[in-house]
Amino acid sequence: MLAGQKGHTLPSQMIWGPGLQLSLHCKSGNVDLGQQYLAPGGSWSFDFCSSYWGITLYFCNMVWNGGNKWFDIYTGARDSFICGQCGWSIRPTGPCRNHHGKVDCFPWNNSTSVHKWSK
């Protein structure tokens, strides 16, 4: 880890009905974490170091039967002082961040605010 950077681990867990599989693809501006598939109750996590300036951003596209949503899973402005190791519960209504026994739920990103997904 470089000086001025803070380490983070972001585990995510899918919570909803049986038989649904979640496909998620997360990335930042220069790191593509690849496509992941989660069965109900399944989990996945990734580690990274955030920027000293608080501008780190990771966003995910989440697809399931009947849904295709986007969410900023980590933003320096929202998460840098809260999340050293935050967990996320992915629900059809939106992701919920779990940290130190507190749960904060967020709406999905507006489709007009989707980040550029370069190929």
Q: List C-alpha distances in Å: 61 to 8, 50, 69, 81.
A: 20, 20, 6, 24
Q: Could you tell me which residue, 18 or 45, shows the higher pLDDT? A: 45
Residue 42 has pLDDT above 90, yes or no: no
Q: CA-CA distance, 12 to 75, in Å (whole number)?
A: 15
Residue 93 in this model has a pLDDT that exceeds 50? yes
The whole model's pTM is what? 0.75
What phi and psi values does residue 21 have, to the nearest 5 degrees?
-110, 140
